[in-house]
Amino acid sequence: MNASRRRLSVGVRLLLLPLLLTTLTALAGAQGRVIGKVTDGKGNPVEGVKITITTSALAKFKMELTSDKDGKWQTILNDATIRYDYLFEKKGYLAVKRENFKVPVASTGEPLNVELLTQEQAISKGVVKTVEDPFSKTFNEAVDKVKEDDLDGAWAKAQDALTLGPDKAVAWKLGATIASRRKDWDKVIEMGEKSLALDPENTELYGPLIEAYRAKSNKAKVAEYEKKFATANPDRPEILYNQAVELYNKGDAKAAEPILRQILTANPDYVNAHYLIGMCYVNLGKVPELRKHFKEYLRLDPKGKEAGTAKDMLDAFK
């Protein structure tokens, strides 16, 4: 009985062997090799390109490869009877997709070469066109109007830009800048505050807002933005100093004095601020303060152009 079973088992294996060999041969015959090279718009090889291979015929199939330093890549597909989709991606380049690419069964190297282009290369080759969005176009037109000193035209374009981009801090900033040149202080405040709410880094608006709040006699806001300006511009005290000079020359020593104090807090050696604040204290009748600053002016610049006046004031107010 055992001998009979052994003969049957051997016979079954012998019968199955040709079938197994036929199946293996069929599977091997369904394979195909695909090779390729990735180059840029100048024909240079592109290393590190991610190649993703998928197919609609096999929902779970996904293969990922990477191009080498010569831009080359290759793989073997176990089932070359179906078509595959190839996606080529690398940061800085426009992605390329090749769909339904068929590798011949038993192929030893079907080539699939692609060209990856940067945005600039794609534009120069006419593959894509530059498209300027409506907001950018209108905003740039407003800027051009400002450069032409056409403030009315610039204002109109700025309003159009705000309609197209109400959430863009730069649009509100432009509106505030134009309004400042038009001396429309209410709009400077409205647009400047809106821009800063969207982007607190728009420190260039501190100057226009100081001017606008001063025109509206809002001393608290003036002081707030003078402090912010001095903090944001420690190397540019001359901007605030010029505002103080303008106020002093208009006879408003009281308004000029806090600006000069703010300058000296951030820049204690700003010599001209010591002289001007001393003159403000002359007008305000604050003798100890004026003496302090005229002495500091002379210490910092004993031969300065205002040294004579500073000495005269020290002699006059003892």
Q: What is the DSSP string of 168-211?
A: -HHHHHHHHHHHHHTT-HHHHHHHHHHHHHH-TT-GGGHHHHHH
Percent above pLDDT 70 for the chain? 89
Total domains in the chain come to: 3
Q: How does residue 130 score in pLDDT terms, banded at 50, 70 and 90?
A: low
What is this structure's pTM?
Answer: 0.47
Query: How many Cα atoms occupy the beta-carbon half-sphere of 290 within 13 Å?
Result: 21
Residue 219 shares a structural domain with residue 147? yes
Residue 253 has pLDDT above 60, yes or no: yes
Residue 139 shares a structural domain with residue 185? yes
Partner residues linked to 51 by β-bridges: 65, 88
> What is the pLDDT at residue 128?
62
Residue 212 has pLDDT above 60, yes or no: yes
What is the spatial distance between Cα 95 and Cα 77, in angstroms, rounded to a whole number? 23
Residue 33 has pLDDT above 80, yes or no: yes
Q: How does residue 124 score in pLDDT terms, banded at 50, 70 and 90?
A: confident
DSSP secondary structure string, 259-300? HHHHHHHH-TT-HHHHHHHHHHHHHHT-HHHHHHHHHHHHHH
Average pLDDT rounded to a whole number, residues 269-288: 95
Would you say residue 242 lies in a domain?
yes
Partner residues linked to 75 by β-bridges: 34
Residue 238 shares a structural domain with residue 313? yes
Would you say residue 299 lies in a domain?
yes
Residue 78 shares a structural domain with residue 138? no
Residue 279 shares a structural domain with residue 223? no
